[in-house]
Amino acid sequence: GKSGYDHFMLKEIHEQPRALRQCFRGRVDELSGTVDLADLGDLSPRGVQLVACGTSYHAAVYAAQLFQQAGIPAQAFLASEYATSPPPIGDALVIGVTQSGETADTLSALREARKRGARTLAVTNTVGSTVARECDHAMYIRAGPEIGVAATKTFSSQIAALNLLALAITSVGDAREVISGLRDLPGAVQEILDTSTAQEIAETYRDAESYFFIGRGLHYPVALEGALKMKEITYKHAEGFAAGELKHGPLALVTSDTPVFAVVTGDDEMATKTVGNVKEVEARDAPVVAVTDGASDVERYADHVLEVPDTHRRVAAVVANVQLQLVAYHTADMLGRSIDKPRNLAKSVTVE
Ligand code: F6R
């Protein structure tokens, strides 16, 4: 059942701290700063290709950046596009990211990769799923069952699992720092669940016809995911953009009726650039909601702030996304939408 929550989606949003701890359990040694995924054997890939759809694709876009940062060429592909011009495989590991393990587009991309000699790894929530059976290796995200059609806790757990995978198959100097960041993740998510003002933001902008989401780097897939969640359950137009792309076209759509959610954490060069993009939308009178840890001066240009704790950037992206999950949820709830079963959508898409 829904354990007292109005919807499975809200229940599952609240299950995230527990799901994340479950994902890390027995896989992380904090003292040595190492990750143990012994059951996967020795993967040591020279390159990584990730294939996925929807929300899982956003987790793949995030993960590709982790591998790249560790010096392993990596790219995320929409599974439905992968076979249209398959990239050279070389010695790459092809990773299928799929919560259900039954998504036809993802299965067929993996089959294509295998046909061309690739080793394949499934990152999935579902033991015994088709993807787990067909791939050479499987890593389980351990999020527990997700009933709501909109993926929430499985996205966070995919990101957690992919962080572990990146740590296990790459050697990076800051592993200990990342691991300690990951250790903070469940608590940081809990803090959002306890303190979020997303409901007020939802109330303020419930009548908007269109929502924009922007972010850079690891916050780019968060912007994509924030927009996807919004459109799926509110049935309203929402778009996620890499912050730097706004001025290359989409800015033409920005008016005082377009709330812009900007994900900005830290105060590095990336943050400074995103703040620059925020100034551009603010100059067009768009209402700005900054999802931020307060490290940059983005709040000066924002109408509202959704706070995220000061954490490692990898963690901040997940935590910021939880704020956006709550905004989408509360907006849909106020509009009386069918949150757990949005129109036209199915939990598991088994046709191409
Ligand atoms: C979004 C959503 C879909 C799925 C996509 C892939 O909330 O639920 O976009 O993420 O259909 O599903 P899986 O992960 O099962 O392959």
Find all residues with CB under 8 Å of 37, minimum gap 6, and list them: 27, 139, 164, 165, 168
Ligand 1 pocket, residue 157 CB under 6 Å: no
- Give residue 219's pLDDT: 98
- Residue 191 has a pLDDT of 98
The single-letter DSSP state of residue 207 is T
Residue 64: predicted pLDDT: 98
Q: Which residue owns the Cα nearest ligand 1 atom 4? A: 54
- Ligand 1 centroid vs 142 CA: distance in angstroms? 16
Tell me what pLDDT residue 38 has: 78
Token couple for 176: 């200990």
> What's the predicted TM-score (pTM) here?
0.97
Tell me the ipTM for this assembly: 0.99
Nearest residue by C-alpha to atom 9 in ligand 1: 54
Which residue is associated with the tokens 């990596």?
Answer: 74
> What pLDDT is attached to residue 50?
98
Of 220, 233, 315, 232, which Cα lies nearest the Cα of 262?
220
User: What is the SS3 assignment for 77?
Assistant: strand
**CA 158 to ligand 1: nearest atom:** 14
Residues 144-191 have pLDDT tens digits of 999 999 999 999 999 999 999 999 988 777 888 999 999 999 999 999
Partnered with residue 260 across adjacent β-strands are 212, 288
- The finding on whether 349 has its CB within 6 A of some atom of ligand 1 is yes
User: Does the beta carbon of 225 lie inside 6 Å of ligand 1?
Assistant: no
Q: Can you tell me the distance from the alpha carbon of 294 to that of 65, in angstroms, rounded to the nearest whole number?
A: 24
Low-confidence ranges of the chain (pLDDT < 70): none
pLDDT at site 174: 84
16 CB within 6 A, ligand 1? no
Active-site residues, by number, are 347
Output the pLDDT for position 348.
87
| CB contact burial 221-232 (16+ within 10 A = b; e otherwise) | bbbbbbbbbbbb
